Structure 1
């Protein structure tokens, strides 16, 4: 984990990494345009992106998962290393939670999401950035996203529902291989605009915003609709079992 964290930090120090931060930061501000006097928790490798959202009144805390080396070069506020199963924060503490590189190398991403959901306020919002399973990681080579778990939108909905979260808004980014799409910020913007028009759903990265939903994980009872033959059999059985009327004296 320490080596992986070092690679992430070295990538975000390169020109391409800075373009990634600026490009995704613009999309994050589209989700969260106003964060005055709010608190935001960045889980995983979200530290480089925290300074792109909010203002001077925003409380930012970066939380690395597991035994990772903490480097404050990209961290605008407080930072710590936490256990993904038990975050050291009181329940319902944060207005916003940002997950970037939080599911990297983890067999059970539900553990991280459930811990994040407990730290989120009832009216809070959670934003995830993950690679698309439709070739996303192949186009994100030489970036930290190439090691993240990839998903489709239906799978993300199921995963969020199991963590008692409900997906509300979606976005996507980086439609070309990273080496071409993020040479400059201007080029990255143009490629994303063209991709959303010409190839919707083909982005390398999926951004999904979710809100708490305590009923999303409750199983619903299924009632199978009976066919006409089954209904006729039930009706005939009921008529056969009914007592006959006695004869009048």
Structure 2
């Protein structure tokens, strides 16, 4: 975990890393333009700190939670940070108005543990935002960035995973349509590429952004009554219809 944090710091300290933060920061503010006097939790191997600072204003409470039991050099983190166990976040229930997950699923085969912990500390009217690579070649285009080590998803898989944590996907966005080495050269270039990508190749972004809200019914399976085919209806006619056996009579 410490090595992952160091690699993130080395990337986000480069010009390409700063452009990446600016590009995604604009998309995060599109979801959450106003966060005055609200609390935001960042979850990830580095506490999602580079992206937390793009949200809100001086009245916004930002806390970065670095995942894992290993020791993380807090001198590398700016702001309020802590190291947490993904299975049990050390916060009271319904503590945060917003939760953002960036680099939170590195090497995690089952993300439900973390998402359920996050849902527990999210307010009833709160919102959670995930940034993950697309399974459609997303990680290949994100080489030499921390996203190349994150778990990749499709939109349908994200809906399924969120539902398992009693969360419902509400809004979607995507970013970085070309390899990061080209898309993150300058902020202006990255913006143009993303605009063109959404028009010419919707669904082809390297990164998927999904906003979810609490939904206690999303994990409940509803009973499904299968319709009988025409052959079954012929073989088993309803009582009272012509050809149906009458009670009390035997042939």
TM range (shorter): over 0.9
The CA deviation at 1:240 is 1.0
Distance in 1, matches of 2:232 and 2:151, equals 47
Unaligned regions of 5+ residues in structure 2, if any? none
* Runs of 4+ displaced beyond 2 Å: 70-75, 236-239, 241-244
**Quick check: 220-229 or 66-75, which moved more?**
66-75
Q: CA deviation at 1:78?
A: 0.9
Task: Tell me the C-alpha RMSD between the 2 structures.
Answer: 1.3
Paired with 1:74 and 1:81, the residues of 2 have a C-alpha distance of 11
Contact 2:41 2:63 in 1 (8 A): yes
Number of the residue aligned with 1:30: 30
The alignment partner of 2:236 has SS state of helix
Q: Do the aligned partners of residues 72 and 189 (structure 1) sit closer, same or farther apart at CA in structure 2, a change above 3 Å counting?
A: farther
Residues 236 and 49 of structure 1: CA distance in aligned 2, closer, same or farther (over 3 Å): closer
Query: In the TM superposition, what whole-angstrom CA distance separates every residue of 1:146-205 from its partner, at most 9, and x where no partner exists?
Result: 000000000000000000000000000000001011100000000000000000000000
Secondary structure at the aligned position of 2:64 is classed as strand
CA drift of 1:68 comes to: 4.4
Partners in 2 of 1:43 and 1:155 — Cα distance? 20
8 Å Cα contact 2:2-2:73 kept in structure 1: no
Q: Pick the aligned partner of 1:96 from 98, 101, 106.
A: 98
1:102-139: CA deviations, max 9, x gaps? Answer: 00111211111000000100000000000000000000
- Secondary structure at the aligned position of 1:210 is classed as strand
**1:13 maps to what in 2?**
13
Higher helix share: 1
TM-score relative to the length of structure 2: 0.94
Aligned length: 243
Q: Summarize the Cα distance change of 1:68–1:241 in structure 2 as closer, same or farther, 3 Å threshold.
A: farther
SS in structure 2 of the partner of residue 121 of structure 1: strand
Distance of 2:202 and 2:76 partners within structure 1: 36
The question of whether the paired residues in 2 share the 8 Å contact of 1:5 and 1:68 is answered with no
The equivalent of 1:247 in structure 2 is none
What's the TM-score, normalizing by structure 1? Answer: 0.94
Q: Secondary structure of 1:240's match?
A: coil
Aligned equivalents of 2:186, 2:71: Cα separation in 1: 30
